Amino acid sequence: MPPLEVYAVTRGVTGVDDGVHRYDPVVHGLVQVGPAAEGDATTLVVTGVPWRYPERGFRHFYWDAGTLLAQFEAAAASAGLGPRLRTDFPDAEIRDLVGADGVHEFPLPLSVLW
C-alpha cells in the first residue's frame, strides 16, 4: 500500500456526489467515506500513514506529498482550474473530516480548486 492517502472533498464535480472521498488505488476510483462538507470549493487532502514507510519514513512524506501535489496542480491548471496550495489549516478539523486519527494517519498539505 502506498504511504500516502488522497482524499477529495468534492463540491459540484460532474459525475461525483458532493462529499468526502478516498482514492482507492485497487479500484482506481473514488470511494465515498463521508458526507458533504461545508464550503464551496473542491479540496484535495493528502495524508501520511507512517507505518507504511520503513525507518526514516517521515522525511519521505513531504517529498512524496510535494511531488504528488505538483503534478496535481499542473494537471488542474492545464484543465483551466485555479489550484491553490494551503499549508495553514486546522489539523483537528481536517483529521475529523477524512477520518484520520492524527497518529496512525495525519494530514499533510491541502490543495483547493477554485
Asked if the model's pLDDT at residue 54 lies above 80, the reply is: no
At 81-104, the pLDDT tens digits run 888 877 777 888 889 999 999 888
Exposed/middle/buried for 94, CB within 10 Å: 0-12, 13-18, 19+?
Answer: buried
User: What are the two backbone dihedrals, phi and then psi, of residue 25, each rounded to the nearest 5 degrees?
Assistant: -70, -20
Instruction: Please give the CATH topology (third level) of the domain spanning 4-113.
Output: NADH Oxidase (3.40.109)
At 1-13, the pLDDT tens digits run 678 999 999 998 9
Exposed/middle/buried for 99, CB within 10 Å: 0-12, 13-18, 19+?
Answer: middle
Asked if the model's pLDDT at residue 53 lies above 80, the reply is: no
Rounded CA separation 27/42 (Å): 22
So where are the chain's domains? 4-113
What the block records as the C-alpha cell of 56 is 526514516
